[in-house]
Chain A
């Protein structure tokens, strides 16, 4: 997402610009919702997150890749669900009471990410995010937007646009590149 790109650091506000809205966008841009996949911590920009809901009955829809598990009816909205483990070719794991759905709006369409559990909303300033080249070896867009350095650990920040795209994702290779 553009909000994660390093070159979007805001230029000085133009005279008469809405300072309040600008500041809000600014703070949101540094905020990440982090979640667990296995033992690792991943994060997405809070600006794209609509809400977090518990696991519910998934209704299957045919003609979708295996990592798209089906849809849920969230108060009258049909939301497709993506199992992040399957998306990253990781072993499937039965859903438990920690499993949650992160409902996001990506490229104007809703999507629910099934993750092992949510951790917290973290503020990660831009200077603590390591980014690798925007283009990978193969010239494809990369699902990892950057690595956020925390005191003792690292958060893998994801690019939701690539995540929900049809592109093949080779997470392991990307992480070694990063």
Chain B
């Protein structure tokens, strides 16, 4: 990235910079873009004919965007460091499992936010351990199954759009559907006769305390590893996908945004409260017909929205969140509002709001301290005009919805 610039500065081509200095720069860039937006949208300018000003503003905005990108770039590091550390674990895993393991890496040069990279090691280590411990078979079993004695785990990273996709693929025995299903039924995730789709079933291995390993080893089987993965992925706004073929192996894919700093969002208003939602989870925005929203008395007045020939759950934010004034939507009929349909892993979810304000790149701030108790949110979004919106995590909104 910055190599060509740095080359002329020093023979080494690389500079060590403390990460807090870069964070400071990122903060300043965020402040800069906010205050530029504030200046440009100043109410004093309303109604004035300012053609030269407009041109200058346009150029200024472009520069601010470039500075923003450049600052974001500075925090990007190759995922190689994480992969190297994981590869070093290979020998340790061989020793502990008594299996022969080869770890391959592809796409180690893929760039990712340093803050993301720092947090990826632990969850990836757990996936790797699981693959080594549960996935790969002992050499004798492998030979009997006609596979090479050395089990192979492949770590892959690639950037697709604004996401980095990391996969951990093993060529082991694959997930055991019967065993996982039995365990999942025992834990009450599925009914006794329910036959979930494979993709849905595999997700249960990320549930807290879920382990099918009969013995707890040093390596895995405590059911905590996968939960670490789950928690971290939620915090990084990532998604997890599992695919497995019996006898062939298991593939765990993690899709993570390249940078946590900026997020492309739609801004929604409900009463006095502003919400932001990542643009890629919004599947449709529409004004519902009166007859399209039905409430079911038998389910505590839960509402459903008739959408595209099906019925989908409705989540009213003032009911989901505590301390939101009911006037912010409580007494309003859904047909007076705008329905936003989100796409979640568990299906579509309709959320009524008063107004759609804007689509913009927001600066994300994590919720810490007392704000960490706010549910179903990734963090706070700083908007161009200085307002603060709560970034909704629709997956958790949906989960809260189905739990009731």
Residues of A within 8 A of B (CB): 59-66, 68, 71-73, 75-78, 80, 82, 106-111, 164, 166
Contact = CB atoms under 8 A, between A and B. Distances in A.
B365 interface: yes
Contacts of B386: 73
B370 A111 contact: yes
A63 B323 contact: yes
B30 interface: yes
Interface string B365-404: 1001111011100001010001111100000000000000
Contact of A62 (B31, B363, B365, B390): B390
A71 to B, nearest CB: 5
Nearest to A111: B369
10 contacts: A59-B388, A62-B390, A63-B323, A75-B31, A76-B382, A77-B365, A78-B371, A78-B380, A109-B370, A111-B370
B382 A78 contact: yes
B307 interface: no
Nearest to B385: A73
B49 interface: no
A82 to B, nearest CB: 8
B382 A63 contact: no
Given A60-B272, A63-B322, A63-B374, A109 B369 contact: yes
Contacts of A65: 323
B104 to A, nearest CB: 40
A169 B237 CA distance: 36
B274 interface: yes
Given A61-B374, A62-B390, A76 B369 contact: no
Contacts of A111: 369-370
A75 B38 CA distance: 12
A110 B374 contact: no
Nearest to A106: B369
A76 B371 contact: no
B2 interface: no
Looking at A62, A73, A110, A111, the one whose CB has the most chain B CB atoms below 10 A away is A62
Given A73-B382, A73-B386, A76-B34, A59 B369 contact: no
A73 B383 CA distance: 10
A109 B274 contact: no
